Amino acid sequence: MDDIKNACANHIFGTYARFPVAFVKGEGCRLWDDAGREYLDFLAGIAVCSLGHCHPEVTRAITENADKLVHVSNLFYTYPQVELAADLTRLSFADKVFFCNSGAEANEAAIKLARKYSRDRFGPGRHHIITMKDSFHGRTMATLSATGQSKLHNGFEPLMNGFSFVDFGSLPAVEAAITDKTCAVMLEPVQGEGGLNFPPPGYLKKLKALCRDKNLLLIFDEVQSGMGRTGSLFAYEQEDVTPDIMSLAKALAGGLPMGAMLATDEVGTAFTPGTHASTFGGGPLVASAALATLRIISDPGFLAKVRETGAYFLDRLAWIKSRHSLVRAVRGRGLMVGLDLEVPGAGFVSACLEKGMVINCTHEKVLRFVPPLIVGPPEIDRLIAVLDEILDKEIQ
């Protein structure tokens, strides 16, 4: 461990506080470190490896295509990209897709499209976007500026102008923030990095009506909540509402880096040749992995199982809450679940790791569980036993 730790410190920017574990192999919900120790993964690369590690169908798609065609420019057609776009639009509200490589890039594309559409349709000056407090949209300058967490802004000012932050879940707050410069409202249907926050029932639907009334675009950042994570392919489906623009990434390509920005035809016409681009976006290798991933996750039987397993998980976490006063609340939908603690959670994350459970903590006090969607009751029961043991100890 000392060797890799020192080499990392010597050669890699110190942007991550890493745990003292080096993983070398993964299969399903299990990971192995370089000493051969086995772990259960309840983090899945932070909601990325949703089919588990090295799913045979994803591995097959990667290996077959690695042997055939890895990259050509977006100046040409490639079959996996077009097939993937056809599948994503068939399965969502959207008509068109722009492919990129990460969540931040998908949100950058969404912000640019909202500005461009508004300018084309209503003229200049209408470029402000309302986003939510405690939101997370990425680390590039525009998406950081859109992120409603001042602790992440510190040191990078001046930020890009044109973003204002309102309370998540409050319609009057959005109404009060709208000006003649506003072009869009952007939010996560479920806040992930902000501490697993769910809006009140009916809020998203009312927000859509407000946006329509004021000629504003509604942008859903489903980078974390999308791709089956909450028990439907996209979280918005459970709210009887559709956005005008949506961003996806994380689980989209089964562990390979891919982002996508989706929109209706009406809005998408604002992107014409030369207005936006990505060298790697939607390349044949990554698109093939995404096709394999999407085919499995979008199966109604698979999604039903996510909801069933999620309900079991929530039930077991409720049992944990009933036994530990440190647990303030249990929150979750599908397999995006967490424990809101009375105290900082970092020590519990380390204690879990020592006992072979990979979890993380978000927003300082929320233990977050976003396991592979193929997780089952036996793995959940093992995690619950560990949580039951460590939460007795009041580690901080």
Applying CB under 6 A, the residues found at the interface with ligand PLP are 102-104, 107, 136-138, 188, 192-193, 221, 223-224, 249
Cis amide prior to 243 (ω within 30 degrees): no
| Shortest distance in whole angstroms from residue 258 CB to ligand PLP | 9
How far is it, in rounded angstroms, from Cα 360 to Cα 343? 14
Q: What is the DSSP string of 165-179?
A: EE-TT-HHHHHHH--
Q: Of the two residues 258 and 339, which places its CB atom closer to ligand PLP in the complex? A: 258
Which residue is catalytic, options 250, 271, 313, 348? 250
Q: Of the two residues 100 and 326, which places its CB atom closer to ligand PLP in the complex? A: 100
**Shortest-Cβ-distance residue relative to ligand PLP:** 103
Which alpha helices (H) appear in 256-299, and where do they start and end? 265-268, 284-297
Which alpha helices (H) appear in 91-232, and where do they start and end? 103-122, 141-146, 150-153, 171-177, 203-213
Beta strands in the chain (DSSP E): 23-27, 30-33, 38-41, 96-100, 128-132, 163-166, 182-187, 217-221, 245-248, 259-263, 327-333, 336-341, 357-358, 360-362, 366-369
> How far is residue 359 from each of residues 113, 119, 356, 370, measured CA to CA in Å?
35, 44, 10, 8
Buried/exposed 226-256: b ≥16 CB within 10 Å, e otherwise: bbbbbbbbbbbbbbebbbbbbbbbbbbbbbb
| Shortest distance in whole angstroms from residue 158 CB to ligand PLP | 22
Q: Of the two residues 28 and 189, which places its CB atom closer to ligand PLP in the complex? A: 189
Is there a catalytic annotation at residue 388?
no
Q: Of the two residues 217 and 391, which places its CB atom closer to ligand PLP in the complex? A: 217
Which residue is catalytic, options 98, 163, 221, 348? 221
Q: What is the gyration radius of the CA atoms in the chain, in angstroms?
A: 21
| Shortest distance in whole angstroms from residue 225 CB to ligand PLP | 7
| Shortest distance in whole angstroms from residue 301 CB to ligand PLP | 27
Q: Of the two residues 217 and 326, which places its CB atom closer to ligand PLP in the complex? A: 217
Is there a catalytic annotation at residue 250?
yes
| Shortest distance in whole angstroms from residue 124 CB to ligand PLP | 28
How far is it, in rounded angstroms, from Cα 235 to Cα 182? 25
CA angle 29, 35, 22 (to 5 degrees): 65
| Shortest distance in whole angstroms from residue 138 CB to ligand PLP | 4
Query: Which tokens go with 133?
Result: 């407090």
| Shortest distance in whole angstroms from residue 367 CB to ligand PLP | 16
How crowded is residue 162: how many other Cβ atoms within 10 Å of its Cβ?
Answer: 16
Does residue 189 contact residue 239 with C-beta atoms inside 8 Å? Answer: yes
| Shortest distance in whole angstroms from residue 3 CB to ligand PLP | 28
- State the DSSP H helix or E strand holding residue 60, giving kind and residue range, or none if neither: helix 56-66
Which residue is catalytic, options 98, 99, 136, 348? 136
Query: Which tokens go with 250?
Result: 């994380």
How far is it, in rounded angstroms, from Cα 341 to Cα 351? 15
Is there a catalytic annotation at residue 136?
yes
Q: Of the two residues 227 and 391, which places its CB atom closer to ligand PLP in the complex? A: 227
Whose CA is closest to 93, among 265, 251, 248?
Answer: 265
How far is it, in rounded angstroms, from Cα 166 to Cα 74? 38
Q: Of the two residues 224 and 242, which places its CB atom closer to ligand PLP in the complex? A: 224
Q: Of the two residues 99 and 126, which places its CB atom closer to ligand PLP in the complex? A: 99
Q: Which residues does the annotation mark as catalytic?
A: 136, 221, 250
